[in-house]
Copies of this chain bind each other. A is one copy, B any other.
Amino acid sequence: MPGLRLEISMSLDGFVAGPEQTVEEPLGRGGEQLHEWIFGLASWREAHGLDGGERNADDDIVRETVGRAGAIIMGRKMFSGGSGPWEDDPKADAWWGDDPPFGVPVFILTHHPRETVTKANGTSYVFVTDGIESALEQAQAVAGDRGVAIAGGADVVQQYLRAGLLDEIELHVAPLLLGGGVRLFDGVGDVKLELMRAESSPAVAHLWYRVSRT
């Protein structure tokens, strides 16, 4: 069975979101810049139902993984776009709208039980209240050979890292400093990383790691 993968964009100073996250600006101040390298790529635009876009080395790299995972694991805050409507109203919709870009079952880690929600394009939201191992098992059961990816946020990544359940990290290091916000690797304990590959364009450096506990 393929391992659990994380693919995420990080600033050179280690942040995956900027400071002052809000529902309007879920990636915090400056956080959108982390993903600027990807928005213009043909592969990303296709995955979001858009025409055109650039075909270059970054595009090839995104194409390797886009749509690869058969299931996704996501934190509650990432699902609802921060500390917004979801917490007040458990029936409130996801931040991701009616045509979400996932296309596979998404397992949401939460403390609030809720019925599964089915969206367009094969996306469904399955709410898991009994912990990260249960979410991984359920995700693997539906993903099969396609494997499972963690979408974020950082707190969920850190939980899986601490538990020794994350196997691969594909890191897109954006050439910018956010100076504050949410750090990807805070408090994860002893983690062993093996550098598998690195590529770069003027827009971003891609680093692939295999992960194990020391």
Which residues on A are within 8 Å of B, measured CB to CB?
12-14, 171, 173, 175-177, 179, 183-189, 191-205, 207, 209
Contact = CB atoms under 8 A, between A and B. Distances in A.
Given A14-B13, A185-B13, A176 B193 contact: yes
A207 B209 contact: no
**Chain B CB within 10 Å — which of A171, A177, A192 has the most?**
A177
Contacts of A200: 195, 197-198, 207
Contact of A194 (B183, B186, B198, B202): B202
Given A12-B209, A176-B192, A176-B193, 13 more contacts: A12-B171, A13-B14, A13-B184, A173-B207, A175-B195, A177-B185, A177-B193, A179-B187, A195-B200, A195-B202, A195-B203, A195-B204, A195-B205
Contact of A193 (B171, B175, B184, B193): B175
A109 to B, nearest CB: 23
A207 B200 CA distance: 9
Contacts of A175: 193-195, 209
29 contacts: A12-B171, A12-B185, A12-B193, A12-B207, A12-B209, A13-B14, A13-B185, A13-B186, A175-B194, A175-B195, A175-B209, A176-B193, A177-B188, A179-B185, A179-B187, A179-B188, A179-B189, A194-B202, A195-B200, A195-B201, A195-B202, A196-B202, A197-B200, A198-B199, A198-B200, A198-B205, A200-B207, A205-B205, A205-B207
